[in-house]
Structure 1
Amino acid sequence: MGLLDGKVVLITGGARGQGRAHAVVSAREGADIAIIDIEKQVDSVSYPTARKEDLAETARQVEAHGRRALSISADVRSQTQLDDAVARTINEFGKIDVLIANAGIWTVGDFWSLSEDTWDDMIDINLTGVWKSAKAVAPHMIERQTGSIVITSSVNGLEPARNFAHYVAAKTGVVGLMQSIALELAPHGIRCNAVNPGVIKTPMTNQTNGWNMFAGHDHGTEEDLMAGGYHFNALKGTSFLPPEVIANTALYLNSDLAAAVTGVTIPVDAGHMILPGFNHDPVK
């Protein structure tokens, strides 16, 4: 018996990284999965964004658990594309029990030097895209008087950071949006919560900008990234965490174990938020 037996889970940004982990963990626990991702490059993002083959690989891993997978190319900036994706999922699987609003990007720069396109892409994908995703599934969940929504925020939805004010603004906004969604949908038996990841090793972070940030200089390496992660976390032996730790927390929130939990944020950060700054004496 799985924690999500008989459920249908719709995941935005599901082609790789945290999204793939959500898909595979949910499938392992008995859910059929609809995966949404963009399949093209976001112009303001320096690292490669999802591709068609990434969606196909996530679907393959879902099906390896004996569950059905539906892959949908859609941009969370488009309400029409999201509405169509929801309709396709309901047509294929008959219902949607869970939305994991996970699609997101990460870029860096001083707030005064960010271009308007960089700011707009960040807010449009990481904040407005969450609203549009929830908006797309809400009528169906209200009609059924049941459902669970989990939104990916960040520890940067709870604290500031240098060089990505636009990311902090989006992820802070997501927390407030989540609380409002939870309040409005509670009378319909629908729950909404947020997971706030710390440092997670995915294609979004394991790239040049992440390497340089944790190295403290240009020409950083993956080794610099991992070394810096120990200083970010409080728990012994933890650096950048695998995306499955986020998927496992979302699994809890989407399961009956959390039937009375709504409107909360759960940091999954190896104790980062309890540190008075960075961990200057990590135990490795």
Structure 2
Amino acid sequence: MGSLDGKVAFITGVARGQGRSHAVRLAEEGAAIIGIDICADIASNGYPMASRAELDETVALVEAAGGKMLATVADVRDFAALRSALDSGVEQFGRLDIVCANAGIAAMAFRELTIEEDLQMWTDVVDVNLVGSFHTAKAAIPHLIAGERGGSIVFTSSTAGLKGFGGMQGGGLGYAASKHGIVGLMRTLSNALAPHSIRVNTVHPTAVNTMMAVNPAMTAFLENYPGGGPHLQNPMPVGLLEPGDISSAILYLVSDSAKYVTGVAFPVDAGFCNKL
């Protein structure tokens, strides 16, 4: 028996990286998965987004783990599309218990930007990361309340949601602002939803071995960040965490082992935030 047998989880940004890892891990524990991903590039973002083929691969991995998954191409910035995908999943699986608002981008550049480019980076990052998280919660909360079984929402924030770094460009500022904003969203919803036994938390990874962290634009940004080098290194002897390291924290937060854990900003950061 798995710790999530009979439960249903909604995960955004599920086609690869942390989202895929979360889907497979929760499926291994018995959860059915409703997942969405944009499967299209965002022009201001400095690295390619996931593809439909990668989304299909996530479905195959979930099924290989013994789970079931309904996957839909949808952009978290499009509330109607997101809600439609979620509603279809709840109709198919009959319930909703877990929400992982994971979709996010980090639009970094190490070059001179036009003001239009700078503003567009800010807008896209905030819209995907923060507005997308709000959309995810807004669509999911009615299902969680209607189920009368409680539930768990976990927002993916970042160490940049607890500490002030990201540079001066719109992408980096938007990333830090959006990840901080997610914490405010979490804390407010954790109070509002507590009477329904719906728990709300954030997880704050340090750098994770995914496309967001290892693409050339991010590498150039980090190499040239003021005060970089040791300043941006984890105290524990690890450069990058693996997606599964974050999935382990997600599994704890959504499980009955954390049934009274709510309103918590949960770092999985090898000591990064404690150092700064």
Q: How far 1:230 sits from its partner (Å)?
A: 10
- Seen in structure 2, the aligned counterparts of structure 1 residues 231 and 169 have a Cα distance that, compared at 3 Å, is closer
Quick one: distance in 2 between partners of 1:98 and 1:269? 23
CA contact (8 A) 2:208 2:242 kept: yes
- Matching residue of 1:282: none
After superposition, where does 1:124-143 map in structure 2 within 5 Å?
124-143=127-146
For 2:173, the equivalent position in structure 1 comes to 165
**Partner Cα separation in structure 2 for residue 131 and residue 216 of structure 1:** 33
Q: Distance in 2 between matches of 1:99 and 1:14?
A: 12
Alpha-carbon distance in 2 for matches of 1:132, 1:231: 32
The equivalent of 2:156 in structure 1 is 152
Q: Classify 1:266/1:56 alpha carbon distance in 2 versus 1 (closer, same or farther; 3 Å).
A: same
The answer on whether the counterparts of 2:99 and 2:152 sit within 8 Å (CA) in structure 1 is: yes
Paired residues of 1:11 and 1:102 also in contact (CA < 8 A) = yes
Deviation readout 1:207-252 (Å, 9 max, x if unpaired): 10222133338xxxxxxxxxx69961111x3111101111110100
- Any idea what the Cα deviations from partners look like across 1:179-220, whole Å, max 9, x if unmatched? 111111111111110000111110111110222133338xxx
CA–CA distance in structure 1, aligned partners of residues 176 and 223 of structure 2: 21
- Residue type of the alignment partner of 2:193: L
Give the CA deviation at 1:172: 0.3
Cα separation, 1, equivalents of 2:100 and 2:113: 29
Match of 1:199 among 207, 219, 233: 207
CA separation of 1:105 and 1:80: change in aligned 2, threshold 3 A: same
- The number of residues matched between the two structures is 266
Q: Separation in 2 of the partners of 1:18 and 1:105?
A: 12
Aligned to 2:4: 4
Question: How far apart are 1:48 and its partner, in Å?
Answer: 0.5
Choose which of 179, 184, 199 in structure 1 pairs with 2:192. Answer: 184
Determine helix, strand or coil for the equivalent of 2:208.
coil
SS of the aligned residue for 1:100 comes to: strand
Other structure's SS at 2:211 match: coil
CA distance in 2 between counterparts of 1:252 and 1:171 reads 21
TM-score with structure 2 setting the length: 0.91
Unpaired runs of at least 5, structure 2: none
CA distance in structure 2 between the aligned counterparts of 1:197 and 1:22, rounded to whole angstroms: 14
Task: Tell me if structure 2 keeps the 8 A contact 1:229–1:239.
Answer: no
1:215 & 1:115 partners in 2: Cα distance? 20
- After TM superposition, the structure 1 = structure 2 runs for residues 1-80 of structure 1, keeping only pairs within 5 Å, are 1-80=1-80
SS of equivalent residue, structure 1 residue 9? strand
Instruction: Give 2:103's aligned amino acid.
Output: A
Any idea what SS the aligned residue of 2:214 has? coil
Show the counterpart of 1:225. Answer: none
Please tell me whether residue 233 in structure 1 is matched to residue 237 in structure 2.
Answer: no
1:120 equivalenced with 2:123 (yes/no): yes
TM-aligned CA deviation for residue 2 of structure 1: 1.6
Q: Distance in 1 between matches of 2:230 and 2:266?
A: 20
Whichever residue aligns with residue 245 of structure 1, its letter is: D
Q: Distance in 2 between matches of 1:16 and 1:137?
A: 22
**In the aligned structure 2, how far is the partner of 1:18 from the partner of 1:75?**
17
> Contact 1:9 / 1:96 at 8 angstroms: preserved in 2?
yes
Which amino acid letter does the alignment assign opposite residue 166 of structure 1? Answer: G
1:151-202 CA distances to partner (integer Å, 9 max, x unpaired)?
Answer: 0000100011132111000000000001111111111111110000111110
Contact 1:175 1:194 in 2 (8 A): yes
C-alpha RMSD of the superposition: 2.0
Q: How big is the shift at 1:12?
A: 0.3
Change (3 A) 1:130 1:53: same
1:5: Cα distance to partner?
1.3
Q: Secondary structure at the match of 1:199?
A: coil
